[in-house]
Amino acid sequence: MSIEFRPELKDLTPYSPGKPIEDVKRELGLTQVYKMASNENPLGCSPKVNAAILKVFDHLNLYPDGNATDLKVALAKKLGVKPSQVQPSSGSDEMVDQISKTFINPGDEVILADVTFPRYLTTTKMMGGNPVIVPLKNFAYDLEGMKNSITEKTKLIWLCNPNNPTGTMFSEKVLLDFLASVPKHIVVVYDEAYNEYVTNEEYPHDSISLLDKYPNILILRTFSKIYGLAALRVGYTIASEEILNNIDKIRPPFNVNAVAQAAAIAALEDDDFVKKSYEVNKEGKEYLYNCFDQMGIWYAPSEANHIFLDSGKECKEVFTELQKKGIIIRPMFKTYIRVSIGTMEENELFISSLKEIL
Ligand SMILES: *Cc1c(COP(=O)(O)O)cnc(C)c1O
């Protein structure tokens, strides 16, 4: 007899992250490497974070606040909700996992897009859910198609706005029409990891106000992107007390560490840093659009901090060639790549290297 693994694991593969800078330096003997692969903030994080986390170093022997009370209160104040409607997690990645564990039974139908954030599919399958995959339309979410995929067996729907990896968004009107047509017993997960970068006015800028009318929604946000705290793993979810109380039953104790909690609170207080990050991203996006236009390169219109483009060449080859020049991007499929918008210096280096390769 041999040990048996759960059958749900059979066609799962481990998550494949963006390549770390140190790996590339070591493998290729490079001294300067730029990572434009994982949608991290090229400006770092708020300088206020440093002082805040130094204080935590004085009591590393103590467990963190398991309820992250101060962070919840700070978030609630900022967002205009009750602390009981906010739940921090170890990255919003962890919340994706916890949502699947809370809601998905074997055989439940779960609607999601392709191409989108890969953890929706993995955690759905992990729980034995039946993924119902709705392809993107013109590289953007097809909410009409998702609505038409609802059946009696539908349990949950994953939405990402703006979408990763394409950067495309859907408008407030499209979202409202969609929500009005989804039966209220179906859970709608609305992942807004990049909402702070959106420049388009038609975006649902006030998603939190939807919670009153639609208690079946969970809104996911993160400190990993515009706040620049990806290393610390902290995100948060806004939802009804009933939903969060149930998620709390399966939440690992002390899931958000003390350094992450202190850093997130400090980061929330620095609006100037967020504003600067938004401006640098907007400027970088316009620069890259211009260059792509001149080079005759197609790209999806992005409302995030990354651009999905057609390099015209096999994506793995473009990835390898750029890496030799000290730039890490994300190969997607066919000739498509995703590049994170960097500082102007990084953007310029990316463009000059891309020109040499193509
Ligand atoms: C980056 C990202 C996240 C998760 O980030 P965490 O680092 O786990 O907070 C979640 N959703 C999308 C769409 C992302 O791109």
Q: Angle of helix 315-324 relative to helix 344-357, nearest 10 degrees?
A: 120
In tens, the pLDDT along 171-195 reads 999 999 999 999 999 999 999 999 9
Residue 17's pLDDT band, with cuts at 50, 70 and 90, is confident
Q: Tell me, yes or no, whether 263 and 347 share the same domain.
A: no
Q: Looking at ligand 1, which atom is closest to the CA of residue 225?
A: 1
Q: How far is the CA of 233 from the centre of ligand 1 (A)?
A: 10
Q: Tell me, yes or no, whether 57 and 17 share the same domain.
A: no
Token representation of residue 300: 């999806």
Classify residue 189: in a domain, yes or no: yes
Token representation of residue 134: 């709705």
Classify residue 1: in a domain, yes or no: no
Classify residue 2: in a domain, yes or no: no
Count the domains in the chain.
2
Average pLDDT over residues 233-262: 98
Classify residue 11: in a domain, yes or no: yes
- 112, 168, 194, 222: which to mutate for ligand 1, most atoms within 8 A of CB? 222
Helix (H) or strand (E) holding 154: strand 154-160
Average pLDDT over residues 258-279: 98
Give CA–CA dist 210/217, Å, rounded. Answer: 8
- Among residues 253, 268, 283, the one where a domain terminates is 268
Asked whether 313 and 336 are in contact (CB, 8 A), the reply is: no
Range of the domain at 28: 7-44+272-357
Which residues form ligand 1's pocket by a CB distance below 6 Å?
Answer: 39, 91-93, 117, 160, 164, 191, 193, 222, 224, 230, 235
Locate tokens 């929500």: which residue?
Answer: 179
Half-sphere exposure of residue 19, counting CA atoms within 13 Å on the CB side?
A: 22
Query: Rounded to two decimals, what is the model's pTM?
Result: 0.97
Average pLDDT over residues 216-235: 98
pLDDT value for 119: 97
Residue 18's pLDDT band, with cuts at 50, 70 and 90, is confident
- CATH number of the domain encompassing residue 78: 3.40.640.10
- CATH number of the domain encompassing residue 310: 3.90.1150.10
Q: Tell me, yes or no, whether 74 and 207 share the same domain.
A: yes
Q: Tell me, yes or no, whether 34 and 63 share the same domain.
A: no
- 90, 94, 117, 255: which to mutate for ligand 1, most atoms within 8 A of CB? 117
Q: Tell me, yes or no, whether 51 and 31 share the same domain.
A: no
Q: How far is the CA of 296 from the centre of ligand 1 (A)?
A: 31
Q: Tell me, yes or no, whether 145 and 289 share the same domain.
A: no
Q: Say what percent of the chain tops pLDDT 90.
A: 97
- 87, 89, 93, 166: which to mutate for ligand 1, most atoms within 8 A of CB? 93
Residue 354's pLDDT band, with cuts at 50, 70 and 90, is very high
Give CA–CA dist 75/82, Å, rounded. Answer: 9
- Cβ count near 263 (within 10 Å): 27
Q: Tell me, yes or no, whether 112 and 236 share the same domain.
A: yes
Q: Tell me, yes or no, whether 97 and 31 share the same domain.
A: no
Q: Tell me, yes or no, whether 253 and 292 share the same domain.
A: no
Q: Tell me, yes or no, whether 203 and 337 share the same domain.
A: no
Q: Tell me, yes or no, whether 21 and 127 share the same domain.
A: no
> Please, what's the largest Cα pairwise distance for the chain?
63
- Short-list 123, 133, 193, 188, CA closest to 157: 188
- Among residues 221, 236, 268, the one where a domain terminates is 268
Q: Cα–Cα distances in Å, from 344 out to 227, 287, 348?
A: 19, 8, 6
Q: Looking at ligand 1, which atom is closest to the CA of residue 223?
A: 9
Q: How far is the CA of 337 from the centre of ligand 1 (A)?
A: 18
Q: Tell me, yes or no, whether 94 and 134 share the same domain.
A: yes
